[in-house]
Each structure stands twice: as structure tokens, then as C-alpha cells.
Amino acid sequence: MLKAKLSKGPIRVAGAMSGTSLDGVDVAVIETDGVTFEATDRHAFRPYSSREQEVLRAALGKWTGDEVDAAAKVIQEAHLEAFSAFTDCDLFGFHGQTLSHEPRGRGTLQVGDGLALAEALSVPTVWDFRSADIKLGGEGAPLAPFFHFACARKIECDHPVVFLNLGGVGNITWVNPQCEFAEEEGALLAFDTGPANAPINDFMLAQTGQPFDKDGAKARKGTVETGALELFLQEVYFTRVPPKSLDRNDFSEMIGLVSELSTPDAVATLTAMSAAAVVQGMDHCPEPPSQVFVTGGGRHNPVLMEMLTVSLDCPVAPIEACGLNGDMLEAQAFAYLATRVVRGLPTSSPATTGVMALVGGGTLSEPT
């Protein structure tokens, strides 16, 4: 039976996210009742070693087999370490690592075993957030939108705003703050915009041995090849009506479009492609936002941010502009979603994932 504390009032929850950039595990603690939340200053980052990153990379796009088992082991150990400083929390939200994502095909695979984590650290744990949504016809992603809605309410926006996450993949949530609840019709629209940092990182690693284009330094020295950019924008994904989602490597062939270019020109072009995918995505919003708040690691890339600022018709600012922590937002989101799961509240809707009906996706495992 659910402990009384989990069913009512605010609780202290730690959420963890291991994103498509494969750089490490973020953990963040919030206080929440599943509707409103308070951020805390408690968070941690547990980076993956280069050996661990290799193991994870080798398993991307796979569903079963030795590589997947090895990746699952890395994820489990890293999360055990990462969560172990937060065992005073009432609940954990454990996203795990997406290895493969094919919502209209084989489904979605996040490795990480929430039951084993709950047993090992004696904290009830919500995990497997995406599969219930997919079973009900949804994309299984993005899932942060219900948390973005809570953020918009918290900062008391009067007009529609967009939260843009620039991780390995980009995703946006358009929020109508006039609605009181995320589950109301017209409150949200969300979808993955396209590739964000993943192709830049993959190209940088292959060509320079560096894991990413720090501060956009390489892109800054290059010139955007408009022919390649135009070809990229012809991808049918961009005209597909949202909700829609992507696997990390769905756009990996775009690197082929820049393979003949110098490294700076190639990185500048890949950066412009990520920005252009966001700009295209804005056309799908029900009405133009008054502001775009940027979260995720891409907001640290000044070239990407400048490209967005020049092309979008509204102010673009890192999410810190409204007092939130853009490095921890996804980890906080999974703490928030975990709470909604134990409270029987929905975590996705037809407008955020295309699911047939409101669904509370996630499995609760309690330690024995």
C-alpha cells in the first residue's frame, strides 16, 4: 500500500535524467504536490567516463543483446551513485537512458531498472515513464511539457510562452498560461523540433576529438553553406503536424550534407541547421509566443543562441532569465512527473505526445 506521505501534500522528490548527449546523469530535488513545485538548491551531476560513453554509444539504436546489457549496467551503476546522496527524499523519478526510440515501430527503450534502484536505496521509485503513452498511441516524448506548464504558472506569464530545450535533440513546449491545468484542452502543444547538439557533437568528436563545440568557437570561425541548409530543411519531418518525436540518431545522415566542407564551415552549417529546425517548428504553434525561454546545454552555445535571436520574432533568453535552472530542468521534470504518477495525475496528453487520452505514464516500485 502507498505510504500515506506519498498520497497527500508536498513531498521531497529527486529526479534524474540521462539525456541524448550521453554526458552524464543530472539529479535534482524539488518539493512538489504534483501540481505546483518549489525548486531546491540540491542537485548533482555524475559524468560518464569516456569508457562508459563508448559503451552507451555502442548500444544506441539497439533493442537487445550484449551491447544493450552492457549499457544497462553502466546506467544502473551511475544512477545508484548519483541517487545515493538523496536517500532522504520521499520519492525518486528515474528516467534512465533512451537507447532506441521508434514510437510507430518497435516502441521506445529506456534502460535502467527502477525496482532494483528502489530496493538498493530503500526509496520508492517511479520509472518507465514512456511506454504507457506509446501503448495508447502516443509518441512517448517529449514528457517535460507538463512540467513546463508548471514553470509557466510559477513565473506568472500572461501571454503564451515557449520553452525550448536544446539537448542532443531539440524540443519545444508552447504554453497558454491562461489555462489553469496542463490537462486542459488548448493549454499545451509540444514536439521535438529536430536535431540540436547531437550532430554538432558527433561531427566534432569525429573530426577534432573534442566532444562538443565549446562556446560555439568553431562555428564562429565558419560560414554557413546555404545549399546544405536548404537541403536539410526539405526533410518531411519539418512539415509533419505535431505532436511528433525523434530518436537521437534520426538525423545522423545530415552530417553527410557537410562532409565536403572545412571543419569550421561544417560546424557553422550544422549549428544553423539546428537553429533553422527550431524556427520551422515555431510555425506549428497555435499563436506566436511572447517569449522563448531556452533550456538545455545548447543555451551555452552563443552562436546557436544568436542564430535563434536573429530568426525568431520574439525575445529569446536562457531560462535563467525567469529564475529557473536550465541545466537541471529535465531532472526536475522527472521528479515532478514521478509525483504526478503516484498521485494518479496525467503526465501527457493528446497535445503533448498525440496519445489518445490523458495518461499517467510510469511504474511505481516500492522497496520491500
Ligand X SMILES: Nc1ncnc2c1ncn2[C@@H]1O[C@H](COP(=O)(O)OP(=O)(O)OP(=O)(O)O)[C@@H](O)[C@H]1O
Ligand Y SMILES: CC(=O)N[C@H]1[C@@H]2OC[C@@H](O2)[C@@H](O)[C@@H]1O[C@H](C)C(=O)O
Interface residues with ligand X (CB under 6 A)? 19-21, 23, 165, 167-169, 197, 201, 212-216, 296-298, 300-301, 330
Q: For the CB of residue 130, give the shortest distance to ligand X in the complex, in Å.
A: 13
> Which grid cell sits at 159?
501571454
Q: Which does 215 bind (CB under 5 to 8 A by kind): ligand X, ligand Y, none?
A: ligand X
* Residue 204 interacts with, from ligand X, ligand Y, none (CB under 5-8 Å by kind): none
Distance in Å, CB of 171 to ligand Y, minimum:
4
Cis preceding-peptide flag for 145 (omega within 30 of 0) = no
Is residue 90 a known part of a binding site?
no
Note the residue count of the chain.
Answer: 368
Which grid coordinates are listed for 298? 545548447
Task: Record the cell numbers describing residue 36, joined without a space.
Answer: 505546483
Tell me, what amino acid is at 4?
A
Known binding residue 21? Answer is yes
Phi and psi (nearest 5°) for 94? -120, 100
Binding-site partner at residue 15 among ligand X, ligand Y, none, CB < 5 to 8 Å by type: none
Closest approach, Cβ 111 to ligand Y, in A, equals 11
14 closest CA partner among 119, 116, 85, 109: 85
Give 169 or 261: the residue with its C-beta nearer to ligand Y: 169
- Please, what is the end-to-end C-alpha distance for the chain in angstroms? 11
Question: Is 22 annotated among the ligand-binding residues?
Answer: yes
Q: Is 35 annotated for ligand binding?
A: no
In angstroms, give the least distance from the CB of 356 to ligand X.
25
Which residues on neighbouring strands pair with residue 253, listed in sequence order? none
Between 145 and 222, CB nearer to ligand Y:
145
C-beta closer to ligand Y: residue 6 or 79? 79
Q: According to the annotation, is 24 in a ligand binding site?
A: yes
Residues that bind ligand Y (CB under 6 A): 19-20, 98, 101, 108, 141-144, 165, 167-169, 171, 192, 245, 330
Backbone angles phi, psi at 3, to 5 degrees: -60, 140
Q: Which does 212 bind (CB under 5 to 8 A by kind): ligand Y, ligand X, none?
A: ligand X
Between the alpha carbon of residue 223 and those of residues 267, 269, 304, 305, 311, the distances in Å are: 9, 7, 13, 16, 17
C-alpha neighbours within 13 Å on the C-beta side of residue 343: 20
Say if residues 100 and 62 touch (Cβ distance below 8 Å): yes
Q: Between residues 300 and 340, which has the closer beta carbon with respect to ligand X?
A: 300
The answer to whether the Cα torsion of 162, 10, 338, 117 is positive or negative is positive
Distance CA 13, CA 87 (A): 10
Q: Quick one: cell of 76?
A: 544502473
The alpha carbon dihedral of 51, 52, 57, 58 has a sign of positive
Strand 37-47 with 91-102, pairing: unpaired
Our CB check for ligand X shows the closer of 7 and 49 to be 49
- Binding partner of residue 365 among ligand Y, ligand X, none, CB cut-off 5 to 8 Å per kind: none
CB of 309 to ligand X, least distance (A): 16
Q: Which is nearer to ligand Y, 141 or 255 (CB)?
A: 141
User: Residue 119 burial (CB < 10 Å; 0-12/13-18/19+)?
Assistant: middle
Q: Report, in Å, the least distance between residue 262 CB and ligand Y.
A: 29
CB of residue 92 to ligand X, shortest distance in Å: 18
Q: What region does 70 belong to: left with phi over 0, alpha with psi -120 to 50, or beta?
A: alpha
Cβ proximity to ligand X: between 20 and 76 the closer is 20
CB of 74 to ligand Y, least distance (A): 17
Contacted by 269, from ligand X, ligand Y, none: CB < 5 to 8 Å by type: none
Is 20 marked within a binding site? yes
Q: Would you say 66 is a known binding-site residue?
A: no
Q: Which is nearer to ligand Y, 245 or 365 (CB)?
A: 245
* Partner interacting with residue 143 (select from ligand Y, ligand X, none; CB below 5-8 Å by kind): ligand Y
Return binding residues for ATP: 19-26
Return binding residues: 19-26
